Structure 1
Amino acid sequence: MTDSQTPTLFPAGSAPAARAMDFCKSEMFGKLFREGMDLVEETASYLDGAGRDDAKSLNRAGALSYATESMKLTTRLMQAASWLLAQRAVAEGEMTAEDATDGKYRLGSDRPTEQLWPEGETPPAILTNLVERSRSLYARLKRIDDNLYADGMPEIESNPVADHMERLRGAFSQA
């Protein structure tokens, strides 16, 4: 399956919870879960090992770009892993499929940044490969998430600052 294809294993018109349960018990999910967890392990191994040496070989601006890119990579993979683990919990009966439709288990949009690397500085090839693979994995998971939970909670562009301000307004208006 290519990145641009959306899985067709979800019956049209079925409830999100039913689609989620079917998907979580599928062979496709098992392969996707293993791929995601393997990428998390591979990334952690690189960042804790050879990646440290790669970062040290960069100039100051490059090292800052490396730190930024590795943070974004780690965050993206942790969100993907969290989603995969929630789906596995559904498959194993530790969570209901209805609970998995809750917004806190949904994937938000990945927001790639503009070019982080300073002119003349080349990012380490392994880091670039991990970033590309993590973006591909995340995009696939996001498409599946959107397909599974299409009738569930509508996706709303989240603005963390505005959300926090709204919670503060609500807390102080009740006082």
Structure 2
Amino acid sequence: MDVPANGAMVHRRLIDSMYVEAMVLADEARAYFDQGGLAERAMLHPMARVVLSCESLKITTRLMHVIAWLLTQKAIDAGEMSAELADDPLRVLPAGPETEDDALATMPAGTQTLIRASIDLYRRAERMERSRSAPPAASPARAMFERLATRL
């Protein structure tokens, strides 16, 4: 990625920050599903427990996809991997699992919080992925300069 030094520094800090956030969220999800959410889960109807299990897998999938993508970005920033390798289909951020609003509404509060947080993190990573592959925005000043140059 050809980014000015300041842009590279901001990108690196954003990646590092998101990585820490993803790891903390993964740890919170693990703790919740291993311990904290047991009482909430026990109170659910058996079918709702199946939905909760599916949603917990979706949370984990989102987080692991984001963490893998962030590790790729960190490797590129550190010079351990070329930016071209990041375009490999195995390294791009895949489409994330969807959570239906109806399913979300039936989940305990703790599960809802984790679902929403994982979706938010995933969407931010998607935006970063799209911006990485998007052509840089043209500078209005440069465009005006080029128009003047062609007229003179």
What secondary structure, in the 3-state scheme, does the structure 2 residue paired with 1:94 have? coil
Which has the bigger relative contact order, CA under 8 A and spacing at least 6? 1
Q: 1:116 aligned to 73, 98, 103, which one?
A: 103
Following TM superposition, the consecutive aligned residue runs of length 4 or more in structure 1 with deviations greater than 6 angstroms are none
1:150 matches 2:134 = yes
Change (3 A) 1:57 1:23: farther
Identical aligned residues as a percent: 31
CA distance in 2, matches of 1:53, 1:86: 38
Structure 1 or 2: larger helix share?
A: 2
Partner of 1:38: 24
Q: What stretches of structure 2 of length at least 5 have no aligned partner?
A: 136-152
Distance 1:94 1:141 in 2: 21
Q: Number of residues paired by the alignment?
A: 131
Paired residues for 1:41-80 under 5 Å: 41-80=27-66
Q: Per-residue deviation at 1:135? A: 0.4
* Largest Rg, 1 or 2: 2
Determine the C-alpha separation between the residues in 2 that align with 1:78 and 1:24: 23
Q: What do residues 30-73 of structure 1 show as CA deviations (whole Å, max 9, x unaligned)? A: 21221122111111121111123322221111111111111111
Normalised TM-score (structure 1): 0.65
Q: Which amino acid aligns with 1:141?
A: A
In the alignment, does 2:109 pair up with 1:125? yes
Match of 2:15 in 1: 29
Instruction: Read off the aligned partner of 1:132 and give its amino acid letter.
Output: R
Partner of 1:88: 74
Displacement after TM superposition at 1:133 (Å): 0.7
Relative to the length of structure 2, the TM-score reads 0.74
Deviation at 1:24, TM superposition (A): 8.0
1:25 positional shift: 5.5
* Pair 1:107-2:93 in alignment: yes
Following the alignment from structure 2 to structure 1, what is the Cα–Cα distance between the partners of residues 124 and 11?
18
* Offset, 1:103: 2.0
Cα shift at 1:111: 4.3
Distance 2:97 2:62 in 1: 10
Aligned-CA RMSD value: 2.3
Q: Is the 8 A contact 1:24 1:87 kept in 2?
A: no
